[in-house]
Structure 1
Amino acid sequence: MTTAAFIGLGNMGYPMAGHLARAGIQVTVYNRSADKARRWVEEYGGGRADTPAQAARGAGLVFVCVGNDRDLRQVTLEQDGAVSALEPDAVLVDHTTASATMAETLDAACREQGAHFMDAPVSGGQQGAENGQLSIMCGAAPATFERLSPVLAHYGKTVVHMGPVGQGQLTKMANQICVASVIQGVAEAISFARDAGLDAEKAMQVIGAGAGGSWQLVNRHRTMLADQYDHGFAVDWMRKDLDICLAEATRLGSSLPTTALINEFYKEVQAMGGGRWDTSSLLRRLRRDRDQD
């Protein structure tokens, strides 16, 4: 529990790995961009590996935080992947927002190595990762969760055991369904306030203090009003997440009409060149034709 590997140093993984190092855990990092891994080591100490397998070798805990199922498979199961180097009784913790099927695949692969697995997607964005205030949704055997929860608390304000492997990813899907719907609601509210001649800033302040308030409204309305979207969680990643939600809903026979519609809205944002814009850019799509009049 005093040695760890962290694979994937993106906007989320970089500060999360940093919290582990600051807690006194000896961390070895791997990132496809070696320069970012070097920069992390300069900032936090620890070690840098040239492959995921090298990072995982000898580590009691191996954390992964990458982009999607394909990236996850590459750094865990393919050549020089982390799973092949897992020590007996080590734990692989996946923070990627991925499919529940991929979680089950990794669990089986870890068990073949005599190791353990936890799917633990997170919510809270880069700000939450930097501040150690993430919400972490965990799918694992009870004993694995009990073993890992004190470690996850180094960057998680809410760490919840949702059930067996895969339940963490299913919970994250429900989270993204909520987030997408809330952002669209905030965008429509701001657009309506402008059309009605309201002071939109004041309107969002008073709404945010009442039953209409949300994290998205409180933290994003000012940048939305300023038409600033070069920050936050990218539309491309939200599209990936919503595609996962919709595929799982089809498998379950669950109806997600609003989610499907908002996913189409995000496709329009991508067509506008906004794949890397923050997800709150739904307002720019909504005002695109209106503001040109």
Structure 2
Amino acid sequence: MAKVAFLGLGVMGGPMAGHLAKKGHAVTVYNRTTAKAEAWVTAHGGASAPTPREAARGQEIVFACVGNDDDLRGVTLGPDGAFAGMEKGAVFVDHTTASAEVARELAEAAQAAGIHFIDAPVSGGQAGAEKAALTVMCGGEPKTYARVEPAILSFAKASRLMGPSGSGQLTKMVNQIAIAGVVQGLAEAIHFAKRADLDVEAVLDVISKGAAGSWQMENRGRTMNAEKFDFGFAVDWMRKDLGILLAEARRNGARLPVTALVDQFYADVQGMGGRRWDTSSLIARLEK
């Protein structure tokens, strides 16, 4: 068991930190909203700290799951940032979905401070965080990753080192590209089935057993048909992720016409008032 800190107690970070505590790790938490950190301590034990620096002081591993690149810089850098409080040789593990650029930037800053950095974005959404069933994609040095993998598996069903710093974030981008296309295809399929006066439940049941089957079909097909969109991973978050990966594609020359189109479809959903609907709400713009 390790002494760890967790920075950011949102719908992902709160449950992830909770699983670390359940596994017996000594957890100190930090959250921008102090009341949320205090509520977490009441529920799980451990301790809270007023700044990232204080939370990180004396810890072997510092985890973070915040909103975006700027939020991540805010909890790591500067006089109150975690890097200023971490001891030599400690490891910072970032579960934020952020850019590969910021991952490389912070890896360099960590090295200069005598500490280690792993970029480790996750897939699985709020349900995966609550059930300790996340998939974690990591970038960094193999020896560093080996040190933190057992702790990561407190809240993950799978974790893998994908390459040097930034590789975890790049792999998460691949994940989101694949999801965007699949969800749009599923939305169009269900929309077509409705217009064809088919029994959508029966259609999904039969085609899910064949080549069309997917996680999205199994877990979101019926709720899409019922126009229920309250399953955690919000459209606003998906658009943030798509913006990051489309910017990376412009840098590396990848051509992503379908992903760029789906990003605009999600903008339509936002315009319909669906900013907090989950990503399966793509069907709403077809059904309106």
Q: Name the TM-score, length of structure 1 as normaliser.
A: 0.96
Aligned partners of 1:87 and 1:113 also within 8 Å: no
Q: Secondary structure at the match of 2:221?
A: helix
Q: Report SS of the residue matched to 2:160.
A: strand
Where 2:89 maps in the other structure, the secondary structure is coil
Residue 215 of structure 1 corresponds to: 215
Find the residue that maps to 1:10 and give its secondary structure: coil
Deviation at 1:61, TM superposition (A): 0.4
**Equivalents in 2 of 1:260, 1:49: separation in Å?**
41
Matched, 1:140 2:135: no
Q: Note the C-alpha offset of 1:78.
A: 3.6
Cross-structure match for 2:153: 153
SS at match of 1:117: strand
Please report how far the alpha carbon of residue 166 of structure 1 lies from its aligned counterpart in structure 2 after TM superposition.
Answer: 0.4
Deviates further, 203-212 or 279-288: 203-212
What is the alpha-carbon distance in structure 2 between the residues aligned to residue 86 and residue 109 of structure 1? Answer: 12
The size of the alignment, in residue pairs, is 288
What's the secondary structure of 2:50's corresponding residue? coil
* Aligned partners of 1:186 and 1:217 also within 8 Å: yes
Partner of residue 4, structure 2: 4
Give distance in 1, aligned partners of 2:15 and 2:35: 16
Q: Which residue of 1 aligns with 2:67?
A: 67
In the TM superposition, what is the alpha-carbon distance from 1:180 to its structure 2 partner?
0.8
Q: Residue in 1 aligned with 2:117? A: 117
Cα separation, 2, equivalents of 1:91 and 1:218: 37
Letter in 1 for 2:41: V
Aligned to 1:182: 182
**CA distance, structure 2, for counterparts of residue 273 and residue 226 of structure 1:** 18
Q: Could you tell me which amino acid in structure 2 is paired with residue 4 of structure 1?
A: V
How far has the Cα of 1:77 moved from its partner? 1.2
> Structure 1: how far apart are the matches of 2:162 and 2:99?
15
- Equivalent residues in 2 for 1:200-239, closer than 5 Å: 200-239=200-239
**Residue of structure 2 in register with 1:44 after alignment:** 44
1:260-271 equivalences under 5 Å are 260-271=260-271
State whether residues 17 and 27 of structure 1, in contact with CA within 8 Å, keep that contact through their aligned partners in structure 2. yes
SS across alignment from 1:24: coil
Task: Using the TM superposition, give the Cα deviation of residue 98 of structure 1 relative to its aligned residue in structure 2, in angstroms.
Answer: 0.3
Task: List, as ranges, runs of 4+ consecutive aligned residues in structure 1 with deviation greater than 2 Å.
Answer: none
Partner of 1:291: none
**CA offset digits 1:231-261 (Å, max 9, x no partner):** 3201001000001110000100110000000
Letter in 2 for 1:129: A
Q: Distance in 1 between matches of 2:101 and 2:70?
A: 12
Which 5+ residue runs of structure 1 have no aligned equivalent?
Answer: 289-293
Deviations 1:94-127 (A, max 9, x none): 0000000100111111112110000000001111
> Which residue of structure 2 lines up, in the alignment, with residue 170 of structure 1?
170
State the percentage of identical aligned residues: 59
State how far apart, in whole Å, the 2-side matches of 1:27 and 1:59 are: 9
In structure 1, distance between residues paired with 2:225 and 2:114: 53
SS state of the match for residue 87, structure 2?
Answer: coil
Which shifted more, 168-177 or 142-151? Answer: 142-151
Asked if residue 31 in structure 1 is aligned to residue 31 in structure 2, the reply is yes
The DSSP-based 3-state class of the residue aligned with 2:181 is helix
Alignment gaps of 5+ in structure 2: none
The one-character-per-residue Cα deviations of 1:5-39 (angstroms, maximum 9, x if unpaired) are 00011111111101111111100001112222111
Q: CA offsets per residue over residues 63-113 of structure 1, 9 Å max, x none? A: 010111111111111441111111100000000000001001111111121
What TM-score do you get using the length of structure 2 for normalisation?
0.98
Task: Answer yes or no: is 1:55 the counterpart of 2:76.
Answer: no
